[in-house]
Structure 1
Amino acid sequence: MASTTYSPSPTTPLNIAVIGATGFGGSWLTKELISRGHRVTGLSRHPEKLGIHPLYTPKQLDITSDITVLAAAFAGFDVIVDEYGPHAAGFAALKYMPFLEVTRRVILAIKLARVPYFIKVGGTGSLHLPGQPHVSVLESPQWWLDYRRGIADSHAHVTYMEERLGPSGVALRGYRNARLALKAGTAGEVEEKVIKTYEQEVKNRDAAMEFVTACRTSFMFFEGRADFAWSFVSPSSLYRPGKRTGVYMWAYDVLPLKGDRNSAEAMEGRLHGISVADLAVAIADEAEERRHVGRHWTAWADLSDDTPAPSYVRIDE
């Protein structure tokens, strides 16, 4: 575990491509990279939506294209960061096989194009529980329950989920309101039923299980490989829009927890998180410094500010 504070330093500008530059993580990362003086090419179906900037080049690309088409689009960059996620198409688009197939194609194209460095942004699901290297967090019913409780306790996170995932966010808002009533001692039968129903659904099979499993499985395309230079970053559990602090902690492989970081017992209130702005700082640092080549790492930061923030940004703002 280590702490990093971003401090601008003289760096040769890099030529970086961001896959999914108009999305949640991609838009914030592109803005961060441009602020550091790097040249950024946005690769997506509609990269022009991000705005206009002298250091930004929009390049239209369907990420489901043939591998040779992808390789041609990937050629010539110093670093490529994959922020691909189908969230813009709605909750129903978060499927297992399409995500894995896209990841497979991208890796083959990265190799074919001989890209010097590839950074993949995955999900929390590939991190393992403390002391259990063969058990990923998504295999823990307790993690799922404490994760849902953790995001429900954040007004900023619930607002983000409502904006980005529609029905899933609406259900989360109802759960949050019921939990607030319970804590205030004003919960009645209706609120108690909402809590019981929501948590039972989480225990049976959380609605996000399929996509989180895909993100977890995608790491297997990277683990142990030395035939291309890669880094795989998994955001910590509570990943949402928020303030850019410029300070973050990082660690390898293991779910970061507050308190006894070696114990996965009773994780409610112990899950770490990071704002999308601070994760962009961490990824930009990695693009410049390459400290985590061939490693699976995570990052977390201060999330005490619970003010809702934009899920997406433009580079000309």
Structure 2
Amino acid sequence: MKKIAVIGATGYVGAAVVKELAARGHQVTGFARHTDKVLKADNVQAVNFDVNAGNFAEQLQGFDAVVSAFNPGWDNPNIGSDFTRGANAIIEAAKTAQVPYLLIVGGAGSLYVAPDVQVIDTPDFPKEIYDGANAARHLLNDLRDRRDVNWAFVSPPAALGADGGFSEERLGSYRLGGEELLMNGNEPAGISVADLAIAIADDVENKAHLFKRFTVAAE
């Protein structure tokens, strides 16, 4: 059993991660703006938070791992700047708290589809989510050479859950990738959010991608 924190514990990915970690018997702390929406379980504690608060580092002390599923909302007109400010605050808090493993959930936009060409650079990339995806790409670039914080970065595949044109079915398996967008034949691959949560839980249990970015998709 580990002590694991999930930032953004009521979001689409964060809530699934809390559920998966709790089912495995870990002691989970869910940081959320609306604590009443955090999963109710004996081994889950809900904590109200503001990632930009000066004392956030104190709240991250003592955990074996922290999962950041922080997202200011895709419909937020200031998503780019709000994501950057919040994500940087989380990283600095994790550094100060000496978190052993900080797994940041990013987007698929920074995965590569060809040499030096990322998904976000392709003509069909949705303009309405560009600012948020671009902020996540810059965050990853800034992290790559850092060794003062124990970071890892997971990019979901292009199709995540039903909203991404995939499925919500929990299959209990997944395949791993690195920097390239995973494909299913000629189509971008996908995964259910439940199976993404399995991959995230496996990763934080084993601290499997320290100082690396990885991606996952359904088998």
Match of 1:91 among 62, 72, 75: 75
Amino acid in structure 2 at the alignment position of 1:100:
T
What is the deviation of 1:46?
Answer: 1.8
1:276-287 equivalences in 2 (<5 Å)? 276-287=193-204
Partner of 1:296: 213
Partner of 1:244: 170
Match of 1:140 among 115, 122, 128: 122
Amino acid in structure 2 at the alignment position of 1:33:
L
Cα pair 1:237 1:272 within 8 Å, conserved? yes
Q: d(CA) in 1 for partners of 2:78 and 2:156?
A: 17
Match of 1:77 among 33, 54, 63: 63
SS at structure 1 position matched to 2:137: helix
What is the deviation of 1:97?
Answer: 1.1
Q: d(CA) in 2 for partners of 1:271 and 1:94?
A: 28
5+ residue gaps in structure 1? 1-12, 145-201, 260-268, 303-317
Which string of whole-angstrom CA distances, capped at 9 and with x for unpartnered residues, describes residues 253-288 of structure 1?
Answer: 1111233xxxxxxxxx51101111000000000011
SS at structure 2 position matched to 1:120: strand
CA separation of 1:211 and 1:15: change in aligned 2, threshold 3 A:
same
Which string of whole-angstrom CA distances, capped at 9 and with x for unpartnered residues, describes residues 108-131 of structure 1?
Answer: 11010111110000000111123x
Cα pair 2:18 2:39 within 8 Å, conserved? no
Partner of 1:209: 130
CA separation of 1:213 and 1:280: change in aligned 2, threshold 3 A:
same
The answer as to 2:7 corresponding to 1:19 is yes
Q: d(CA) in 2 for partners of 1:274 and 1:94?
A: 28
Match of 1:230 among 140, 147, 151: 151
Q: d(CA) in 2 for partners of 1:219 and 1:301?
A: 23
Q: d(CA) in 1 for partners of 2:44 and 2:182?
A: 34
What is the deviation of 1:300?
Answer: 0.3
1:252-291 equivalences in 2 (<5 Å)? 252-259=178-185, 270-291=187-208
- Off by >3 Å, runs of 4+ in structure 1: none
Q: d(CA) in 2 for partners of 1:59 and 1:291?
A: 27
Report which of the two has the higher share of helix: 1
Q: Percent identity of the aligned residues?
A: 35
Question: Higher relative contact order at CA 8 Å, sep ≥6: structure 1 or structure 2?
Answer: 1
Q: Radius of gyration: which is bigger?
A: 1
Q: d(CA) in 1 for partners of 2:37 and 2:202?
A: 25
TM-score (norm 1): 0.65
Cα pair 1:235 1:298 within 8 Å, conserved? yes
CA separation of 1:208 and 1:40: change in aligned 2, threshold 3 A:
same
Amino acid in structure 1 at the alignment position of 2:177:
A
Aligned residues: 214
Amino acid in structure 2 at the alignment position of 1:299:
V
TM-score (norm 2): 0.92
Partner of 2:95: 111
Q: d(CA) in 2 for partners of 1:126 and 1:114?
A: 27
Q: d(CA) in 2 for partners of 1:93 and 1:82?
A: 21
